[in-house]
């Protein structure tokens, strides 16, 4: 999943980026309100972590602008304010969740995963598609109860495809959600990783569990047939 952190405390933003990146998230950062708002409107994020007090434009007004523009990304608002009124202002402006500073990183991680499940209507934290299971917390993938060893980026791609299942996912979709803003959109990095995934993910008959849908992209399924 791809995240945007809008936080003017640079050390906190950098620490969160490091921690969330280690968990497999693609993370972009912005250190003021207007820059963060621009990035949120330009890029396709799954989660936005938004500080309330920011230079140039505060979190409440950013949140209102993003919702007025039709942005559907989940927003977690960060603030040192803990009054009921401050919380309701944040939620009423369009935020999905509220976290009071200082907070435990593990709580933020849990809230992010909960919002991802809610967004993609996945009630169970472990994703199952036929005999394939993906555990986003342990990073373990099994097929027919046999564990499959994947690289970190292969897992990220598979997790995104599993969350979006049964949709067809384009190369551009994968780049937008699995890599951060530094990715080279003209590279063949997605095709290379998908080729490796197709070799590792096969059903009992030897067919890949990732379909190539001509002219559209890729789809994860339990029994693969080429279209």
Mean local confidence (pLDDT), 159-179: 93
Among 50-54, 79-83, 189-193, the range scoring the smallest mean pLDDT is 79-83
- Confidence class of residue 223 from pLDDT cuts 50, 70 and 90? low
Confidence of residue 47 (pLDDT cuts 50, 70, 90): very high
Half-sphere exposure of residue 41: CA atoms within 13 angstroms, side-chain side: 15
Reported confidence tier of residue 133, pLDDT bands at 50, 70, 90: very high
Closest CA to 153 of 183, 118, 123, 120: 183
Q: How confident is the model at residue 96 (pLDDT cuts 50, 70, 90)?
A: very high
Mean confidence (pLDDT) of the chain: 91
Mean pLDDT of 152-164: 94
C-alpha–C-alpha distance, residues 115 and 65, integer Å? 21
């Amino acid at each position: 999943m791809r995240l945007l952190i809008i936080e003017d405390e640079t050390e906190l933003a950098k620490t969160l980026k490091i921690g969330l990146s280690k968990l497999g998230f693609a993370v972009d950062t912005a250190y003021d309100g207007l820059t963060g708002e621009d990035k949120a409107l330009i890029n396709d994020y799954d989660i936005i972590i938004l500080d309330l007090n920011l230079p140039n434009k505060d979190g409440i007004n950013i949140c209102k602008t993003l919702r007025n523009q039709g942005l559907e990304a989940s927003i977690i608002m960060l603030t040192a304010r803990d009054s009921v009124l401050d919380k309701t202002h944040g939620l009423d402006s369009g935020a999905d969740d509220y976290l009071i500073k200082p907070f435990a990183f593990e709580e933020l991680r849990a809230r992010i995963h909960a919002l991802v499940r809610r967004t993609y209507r996945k009630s169970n934290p472990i994703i199952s598609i036929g005999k394939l299971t993906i555990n986003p917390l342990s990073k373990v993938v099994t097929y027919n109860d046999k564990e499959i060893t994947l690289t970190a980026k292969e897992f990220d791609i598979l997790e995104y495809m599993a969350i979006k299942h049964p949709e067809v996912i384009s190369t551009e979709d994968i780049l937008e959600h699995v890599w951060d803003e530094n990715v080279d959109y003209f590279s063949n990095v997605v095709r290379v990783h998908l080729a490796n995934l197709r070799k590792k993910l096969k059903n009992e008959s030897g067919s890949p569990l990732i379909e190539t849908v001509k002219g559209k992209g890729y789809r994860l399924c339990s029994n693969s047939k080429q279209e």
